[in-house]
């Protein structure tokens, strides 16, 4: 078998400086593994954090980054039904490669009718949004959910899922220019984050007292979000785009009994029984088929251009995709 190419980092550091494309000897799929010819993979903030050595969990080096991606099964190992061959699947971890082997239990089969371009972003962010909305509070029809980083892939999925479930969203964005784009997804209210946003937000809420707030920014943005919660409400932190620590006034705990929780999809997936995982992806694929979760792609790069790709991803504005084959 010819060698395959993979993006790898041999030490943690600035992604564009430490990433290189290596030739690797291909390995036949082992027991209960499938060999996947990769098609594409997005670059997510967690990928950059992992390469920088700033993620919650380190991996042995050298490592292939890529916390999600999409490809087609081309071979199976012992114990795997041959009907997997030819199926499009989503893989988790080590996705930035032309091909590789993954345990069959960890790949997700993509239903017919979804293109690779649509499917490649469905493994991480929409499931995170779904679980953030369903795991922490029982929301009733018409209830409000608050969030920051509303332009992010998770934030956009939160808006689309909430709209589908009959919940309202109040969304903080950091650029006024992003408000219209977020409204077009179905956001009920959009406010530019800043010191004076509370009065505007409260006016938009019209007396409603939200019980759930989703935080992907940290720092004072999270404080402002929590300030809008009802007594006993929950702020779930799942990202830290500002890289600033949470700042929680004592009174939020003493007088308002707010709950501060965290969420990590990897932890949830490691603990969840297989039927819960498949039911989660059934919901995600059903919504994707109805038009939700279209990626906001700003650029596409070949694997050999991975340094340019991560540089573009750091600039933000939408997802950068790596084309890996096909
Ligand atoms: N815990 C989990 O299991 C889990 C799962 C998935 C994602 N995440 C996390 O969720 C967050 C969003 O991921 P994503 O893939 O959806 O993001 P994304 O699509 O790449 O978007 C990034 C978002 O962060 C905002 N942003 C960038 N730098 C910022 C800063 N310095 N201060 C405030 N906002 C900033 C961007 O705003 P602009 O549009 O204005 O640039 C945009 O809304 C990340 O922190 C990611 O690691 C966590």
Ligand 1 centre distance from Cα of residue 216 (Å): 6
Tell which residue, 180, 60, 72, 73, has the closest CA to residue 116: 72
Separation in Å, CA 25 to CA 2, 4, 19, 117, 245? 7, 6, 19, 28, 43
> What confidence tens digit (pLDDT) does each residue in 145-170 have?
999 999 999 999 999 999 999 999 99
Residues 6+ apart with CB under 8 A from 42: 68, 69, 120, 121, 295, 319, 320, 321, 322
Write the residue with the smallest CA distance to atom 29 of ligand 1: 241
More confident: 96 or 326: 96
> What confidence tens digit (pLDDT) does each residue in 4-18 have?
999 999 999 999 999
pLDDT at 226: 98
Write the residue with the smallest CA distance to atom 45 of ligand 1: 239
- Which of the residues are catalytic? 55
pLDDT at 326 exceeding the cut of 70? no
Tell which residue, 229, 175, 242, has the closest CA to residue 198: 229
pTM, whole model, 2 decimals?
A: 0.98
pLDDT at 234 exceeding the cut of 80? yes
Residues 6+ apart with CB under 8 A from 49: 55
Distance CA 188, CA 307 (A): 38
Atom of ligand 1 nearest to the CA of 128: 5
Q: Which residues line ligand 1 (CB under 6 A)?
A: 44-46, 124-125, 128, 149, 151-155, 174-175, 178, 216-217, 238-242, 263-265, 316
Distance CA 214, CA 235 (A): 6
Ligand 1 centre distance from Cα of residue 1 (Å): 39
Distance CA 126, CA 263 (A): 14
> What confidence tens digit (pLDDT) does each residue in 272-307 have?
999 999 999 999 999 999 999 999 999 999 999 999
Atom of ligand 1 nearest to the CA of 44: 15
Distance CA 284, CA 108 (A): 11
Residues 6+ apart with CB under 8 A from 250: none
Atom of ligand 1 nearest to the CA of 45: 47
Write the residue with the smallest CA distance to atom 22 of ligand 1: 152
The answer to whether the beta carbons of residues 193 and 224 sit under 8 Å apart is yes
Atom of ligand 1 nearest to the CA of 42: 15
Residue 40: strand pairing partners: 70, 323
pLDDT at 212 exceeding the cut of 90? yes
Structural domains in the chain plus CATH codes: 4-121+295-323 (3.90.180.10), 125-266 (3.40.50.720)
> What confidence tens digit (pLDDT) does each residue in 250-270 have?
999 999 999 999 999 999 999
Distance CA 196, CA 218 (A): 17
Nearest 5°: phi and psi at 31?
Answer: -60, 135
pLDDT at 31: 98
pLDDT at 73 exceeding the cut of 70? yes
Residue 101: strand pairing partners: 35
Distance CA 305, CA 261 (A): 38
Query: To which residue do tokens 């041999």 refer?
Result: 10
The answer to whether the beta carbons of residues 139 and 133 sit under 8 Å apart is yes
The answer to whether the beta carbons of residues 47 and 67 sit under 8 Å apart is yes
Write the residue with the smallest CA distance to atom 31 of ligand 1: 242
The answer to whether the beta carbons of residues 100 and 275 sit under 8 Å apart is no
pLDDT at 1: 81
pLDDT at 315: 97
> What confidence tens digit (pLDDT) does each residue in 298-324 have?
999 999 999 999 999 999 999 999 999
Ligand 1 binding pocket mutation candidate from 178, 236, 239, 319 (most atoms within 8 A of CB): 239
Tell which residue, 50, 68, 56, 44, has the closest CA to residue 12: 50
Ligand 1 centre distance from Cα of residue 241 (Å): 5
Ligand 1 binding pocket mutation candidate from 125, 149, 299 (most atoms within 8 A of CB): 149
> What confidence tens digit (pLDDT) does each residue in 84-125 have?
999 999 999 999 999 999 999 999 999 999 999 999 999 999
């Amino acid at each position: 078998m010819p060698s395959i190419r993979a993006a790898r980092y041999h030490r943690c550091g600035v992604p564009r400086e430490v990433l290189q494309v290596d030739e690797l000897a291909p390995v036949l799929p082992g027991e209960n593994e499938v060999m996947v010819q990769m098609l594409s993979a997005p670059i997510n903030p967690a990928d950059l954090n992992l390469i920088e050595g700033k993620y919650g969990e380190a991996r042995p080096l050298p490592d292939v980054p890529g916390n999600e991606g999409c490809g087609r099964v081309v071979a199976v190992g012992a114990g795997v039904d041959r009907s997997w061959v030819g199926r499009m699947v989503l893989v988790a971890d080590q996705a930035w490669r032309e091909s590789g082997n993954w345990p069959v239990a960890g790949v997700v089969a993509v239903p017919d009718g979804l293109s690779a371009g649509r499917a490649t972003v469905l493994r991480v962010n929409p499931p995170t949004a779904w679980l953030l909305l369903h795991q922490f509070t029982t929301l009733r029809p018409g209830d409000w959910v608050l969030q920051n980083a509303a332009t992010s892939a998770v934030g956009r999925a939160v808006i689309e899922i909430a709209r589908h479930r009959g919940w309202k969203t109040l969304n903080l964005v950091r650029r006024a220019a992003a408000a219209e784009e977020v409204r077009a997804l179905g956001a009920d209210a959009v406010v530019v984050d800043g010191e004076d946003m509370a009065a505007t937000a409260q006016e938009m809420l019209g007396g409603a007292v939200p019980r759930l707030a989703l935080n992907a920014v940290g720092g004072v943005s999270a404080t402002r979000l929590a300030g809008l919660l009802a007594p006993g409400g929950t702020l779930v932190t799942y990202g830290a785009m500002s890289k600033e620590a949470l700042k929680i006034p004592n009174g939020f705990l003493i007088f308002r009994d707010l709950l501060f929780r965290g969420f990590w999809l990897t932890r949830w997936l490691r603990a969840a029984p297989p039927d819960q995982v498949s039911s989660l992806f059934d919901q995600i694929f059903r919504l994707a088929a109805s038009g939700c979760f279209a990626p906001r792609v700003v650029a596409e790069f070949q694997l050999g251009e991975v340094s340019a790709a991560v540089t573009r991803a750091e600039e933000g504005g939408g997802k950068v995709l790596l084309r890996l084959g096909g």
